[in-house]
Structures are given as C-alpha cells and as structure tokens.
Amino acid sequence: MARMFRVLGFFTLAIGLMAFAGNMVEMALLFFAQTAFFMILGYLKFTEKTYILLFWSYMIVTFSGFSYWTVFKMGLPL
C-alpha cells in the first residue's frame, strides 16, 4: 500500500509539471504539494489499515473542497 502512495505521488508530479508548462502556476503548486504529501506518506511504513484511512480521509477532504469550490465560488452557469 505504501508503494501506491508513491505511485500517486508520481502521477501528481506529472500533472503538476504539465500544469506548470501550461502556465497554470496555482494548479501546479497545488499538485506539487500533493506530490510531497504522497511521497512522504509513501515512505512512513504505516499499516495497511492506516493507509486506507488516510486515503479515504484525503478523498473526503478533496471532494468536499471541489464541491464547495464548484458550487459556491464558480457560481451557476447562466
């Protein structure tokens, strides 16, 4: 399971580099922060249950933030 967090770190790094190349600096910084988060967690040697709980808590926070942003910050399309 620790290896999967390193894989997530690799993919977020790839997305961050593509965003940086496309002049989307804020998005790139967000994905670089996620890369650091995933890589650090990937080398901490937690138990399987801890990794699963960390992943689900990450998903809840991410989807809640995305839903908040799309509903309240972007507004309704006209």
- pLDDT mean by block of 10 residues, the chain; 78 residues: 94 97 95 96 94 96 93 79
Question: Taking the CA of residue 32 as centre, how many other CA atoms within 13 Å lie in the half-sphere pointing to its CB?
Answer: 10
Q: Which residue has the tokens 């989307």?
A: 24
In order of 29, 45, 62, 73, the CA distances from 69 in angstroms are: 17, 33, 11, 5
Question: Taking the CA of residue 43 as centre, how many other CA atoms within 13 Å lie in the half-sphere pointing to its CB?
Answer: 6
d(CA 25, CA 43): 27
- Say what the pLDDT of residue 67 is: 92
| pTM for the model | 0.82
